Amino acid sequence: MSDQGKSTDSATLSAIGEARKAGIETVWDRYQAQVPQCGFGETGLCCRHCLQGPCRIDPFGEGARTGVCGADADVMVARGLSRAIAAGAASHGGHAKHLAHTLLKSAKGEAGDYPLKDEAKLRAVAGRIGIKTEGREAREIAVDVAEKALQEFSEKESPLVWAATTVTKGRVETFLKLGVVPQGIDSTVAESMHRTTYGVDADPVNILLGAVKCALADYAACHMATDIADILFGTPQPVVTRANLGVIKSDSVNIALHGHNPLLSDIIVQVAGEQEMNELAVAAGASGGINIVGVCCTGNEVMMRHRIPLATSSVSQETAILTGALDAMVVDYQCIMPALAGAAECYHTQLITTMPIAKIPNALHIGFSEAGARDCAKEIIRAATDAFKKRDPARINIPGISSAAFAGFSTEAILSALSLVDKDDPLKPITDNIASGNIYGVCLFAGCNNVKITQDANYTAMITELVKNNVLILATGCASGAFARHGFMTPEATEKYAGDGLKAVLTAVGQAAGLNGPLPLVLHMGSCVDNSRAADIAVAIADKLGVDLNMLPVVASAPEPVTEKAVAIGTWAVAAGLPTHLGIVPPVLGSRTVTEVLTSTAKELFGGYFIVETDPLKAAEKLLSVLGERRRGLGLGS
């Protein structure tokens, strides 16, 4: 693979060049060592769910047609997909549960480092989930919210509150009718594991409906994680920061925060800003003090709440270490490549793990607990400062490349900006402009960078095509990292790329918000769990128009997806009624039935469905045509 085939980002390419010179292996080398990948796995036609396996079915119809137990291609593929979604839901569930436990401790006064920062959000969430707020202290309300959140994980008699209270009435009815309403987050994950183990569910469509139920549990977990993070750390408001490797500074102790949960990263940012820590860094010889940078979703969390710059994300995470100036990489859980340890060993970088469920051999483990969060943060900063002293100045090679990035467009922030245009009816500017065609539709970009795709190539090709046609762009997770690196999260990008209608809307709102120019071309809504924020916006628009989500000119796209979490999110987007594009073919082609359910039958059941298209320009065309279809359905011009 040529370097040009690895990434479209010049900072990343520079780091790749550095790795080659130093003989350090990266994700792209490891991928090459895997090619060609197994055709059975690629099509979903292998099963290891029991000790009689592994069983494989030939995708070309020659050889075995079933596994030893008689599971056919449809069952194998449906079971594999269902387990991926269960793993995604377990991950988001673990993240949300962690936050819920901390909220409870905070409310009971057992976690002094976690005050209830956003009381307005606490009251709003409590009101929505049916907890009395009037005349009550914030702490009392928080105890009830946390307890109700924790109850969401086990099976109850009733639907998940975090799902039922956050979607349209029409969606709830559809989910009830199809029997896909989850009644517990963890219990639904367990049910998925049960029904897909040896000798249980052998009806592929029934397995897939179970998978949708689990994806909806994932949705509830994402929404809960967003709500509680906002209560504990504040609801994001727009900030301006920078993105790409150039945010690493040669004169500072550079600490990268990587992973997902803001529980530790937010505290590290707070502590790093204190005099004592800064003096420690300066005493070690870092005249610039401490420089915190973000990677992946933790990066998004601290970017939108604390203006922390984003160094890199997803597939290129190793490149932060390859700058030779990263003193510590601190990780919690999810999307952390074990390969970071090997890269760190080639430099002075201290890799620090913090969670009991996510250790990496040869990393320093500094165990995190809510009760000792600040102490943990201080220990981490000290370890980074010690590592700084071992830096080899001759090996520092920071690509001097970064772009401005506007971040932090929470639902609340978007509504408050819109209310400056129309105080009494904040959504009116959006719905009016959708009706007039100034906004042709909305596309939510989510997901990762996949090593199989030239990094960011699909994002950049798709966005330019969509915005030219006046599609409003929302982004989360590493999709926002991609756009940020390439300068798409700026007002300048709006001027340069947006079609006239979209530009007029973004300019009107930007002017009203006092920006003296348009809003950025991409509205950054946060991390991957914050896809719930995008769902909130879509639900608000649907309610305002008096239609269900499956009627809206709103689509989603994961042009370069990687993780099981992304599969879960994509599936709940489909269940929510959104046509959802994937730029990677998921391992389902071995089953005609499953492929057809995902790309066609789902449309009849939910209105949403998967559009698999690896060519970004064709993908953009397909999304535009779907938006046109939806517009015609609402009687709007297309």
**Which residues are bridge partners to 395 per DSSP?**
none
Query: What end-to-end distance do the CA atoms of the chain give, in Å?
Result: 42
> What's the full length of the chain, in residues?
638
Q: Does 225 bind ligand BF8 (CB under 6 A)?
A: no
Beta carbon of residue 84, minimum distance to ligand SF4 (angstroms, whole number): 16
Q: Does 77 bind ligand BF8 (CB under 6 A)?
A: no
373/111 Cα distance (integer angstroms): 9
The stretch among 41-49, 176-184, 213-221, 560-568 that binds ligand BF8 (CB under 6 A) is 560-568
| Token pair in block for residue 566 | 């992304």
| Token pair in block for residue 555 | 């689509």
Beta carbon of residue 180, minimum distance to ligand SF4 (angstroms, whole number): 24
Residue 448 partner contact from ligand BF8, ligand SF4, none using kind-dependent CB cut-offs of 5 to 8 Å: ligand BF8
Tell me phi and psi for residue 579, to 5 degrees: -65, 130
380/384 Cα distance (integer angstroms): 6
369/98 Cα distance (integer angstroms): 11
Residue 421 partner contact from ligand BF8, ligand SF4, none using kind-dependent CB cut-offs of 5 to 8 Å: none
Q: Does 477 bind ligand BF8 (CB under 6 A)?
A: yes
Alpha-carbon distance values, 190 to 176, 201, 232 (Å): 20, 14, 29
Q: Does 528 bind ligand BF8 (CB under 6 A)?
A: yes
Residue 67 partner contact from ligand BF8, ligand SF4, none using kind-dependent CB cut-offs of 5 to 8 Å: ligand SF4
87-107: burial string, b at 16+ Cβ within 10 Å, e else: bbbbbbbbbbbbbbbbbbbbb
Beta carbon of residue 289, minimum distance to ligand BF8 (angstroms, whole number): 27
Question: Which residues are near ligand SF4 by CB under 6 A?
Answer: 47-50, 52-55, 67-69, 71, 198
371/260 Cα distance (integer angstroms): 20
The stretch among 142-150, 180-188, 368-376, 557-565 that binds ligand BF8 (CB under 6 A) is 557-565
Q: Which is nearer to ligand BF8, 295 or 620 (CB)?
A: 295
Among 67, 408, 447, 579, binds ligand BF8 (CB under 6 A): 447
Q: What is the 8-class DSSP label of residue 584?
A: S
Number of Cα atoms under 13 Å in the Cβ half of residue 595? 13
The footprint of ligand BF8 on residues 302-331 (CB under 6 A) is 313-314
Q: Which is nearer to ligand SF4, 40 or 445 (CB)?
A: 40
Q: Which is nearer to ligand SF4, 151 or 206 (CB)?
A: 206
Other CB atoms within 10 A of residue 154 CB: 12
> Cβ neighbours of residue 369 under 8 Å, at least 6 residues apart?
376
Q: Does 526 bind ligand BF8 (CB under 6 A)?
A: no
Q: Cis omega before residue 356 (within 30°)?
A: no
Beta carbon of residue 47, minimum distance to ligand SF4 (angstroms, whole number): 3
> Cβ neighbours of residue 240 under 8 Å, at least 6 residues apart?
307, 404, 405, 406, 407
441/86 Cα distance (integer angstroms): 31
Q: Does 27 bind ligand BF8 (CB under 6 A)?
A: no
Among 220, 293, 328, 448, binds ligand BF8 (CB under 6 A): 448
Beta carbon of residue 478, minimum distance to ligand BF8 (angstroms, whole number): 3
Q: Which is nearer to ligand BF8, 391 or 485 (CB)?
A: 485
Q: Does 45 bind ligand BF8 (CB under 6 A)?
A: no
Q: Which is nearer to ligand SF4, 47 or 405 (CB)?
A: 47
Residue 48 partner contact from ligand SF4, ligand BF8, none using kind-dependent CB cut-offs of 5 to 8 Å: ligand SF4
The footprint of ligand BF8 on residues 565-584 (CB under 6 A) is 565-566
Q: Which is nearer to ligand BF8, 294 or 441 (CB)?
A: 294
Number of Cα atoms under 13 Å in the Cβ half of residue 452? 15
257/310 Cα distance (integer angstroms): 9
Residue 56 partner contact from ligand SF4, ligand BF8, none using kind-dependent CB cut-offs of 5 to 8 Å: none
Residue 462 partner contact from ligand BF8, ligand SF4, none using kind-dependent CB cut-offs of 5 to 8 Å: none
> Cβ neighbours of residue 74 under 8 Å, at least 6 residues apart?
204, 591, 592, 593, 594
Positions that interact with ligand BF8 (CB under 6 A)? 260, 296-297, 313-314, 335, 447-448, 477-478, 527-528, 562-563, 565-566
